[in-house]
Amino acid sequence: MKKILVILVMLSFGLSLLGSVYAQEQKFAYVDILKVFNEYQKTEKYDKKLQEDKASKTKDREKSVQEIKKLQEKLSIVSKEEKEKTQKDLEDKIKSLQQFENQATMELSKEYNNMMEEILKEINKAIKDYAEKNNISFVFKDAAMAYINPSLDITDKIIKILNAVK
């Protein structure tokens, strides 16, 4: 009997504590991260810079490809004495081109990853700051949600905040 009384007292204490936690208003919101990312002006700026860097590397690559083609053409018309030297030059150019392509790919990938990381940090900070300022307890990303009440969408507000910062 004593055990039942102790359990009932603990249960009622737990329920009262639980009730006080739920008595506080919990505010929820959600964000369409993909939309924020795509409409953030910095994303477009970084995307443009990446395209320029890629175009520059492609231009450098094409120069090397043209040099290789000239050496290949030269190889078919040179004398036997020059053939070995030309073949060696050709192999060196091909090896150099492969190294350049690997390096360029790594650099562009690293640059892309750094930009993505920076942008996502800024987006998450803007969401956090907005949530704290507006007493929002939970902000969900919409990708895993089955249904979302449109009134809880703060996506456009976050985009506006991010694009206002210069």
Read off the CATH number of the domain in which 117 is found. Answer: 3.30.910.20
Cα 135 vs. chain centroid, distance in angstroms?
A: 28
2 lies in some domain: no
Residue 73 is which amino acid? E
Residue 5 located in a structural domain? no
Mean pLDDT of the chain: 83
pLDDT tens, position by position, 118-146: 999 999 999 999 999 999 999 998 777 77
Residue 24 has a pLDDT of 59
Show the domain range for 160. 24-164
- Dump pLDDT digits (tens) for 64-112: 888 888 878 877 777 777 878 888 888 888 899 899 899 999 999 999 9
pTM of this prediction? 0.70
Classify residue 77: in a domain, yes or no.
yes
Phi, psi of 47 (to 5 degrees): -65, -40
Specify the pLDDT at position 137. Answer: 92
The total domain count for the chain is 1
Kindly state whether residue 81 falls inside one of the protein's structural domains. yes
83 Rama class: left (phi>0) / alpha (psi -120 to 50) / beta: alpha
Residue 1 lies in a domain: no
Residue 9 inside a domain? The answer is: no
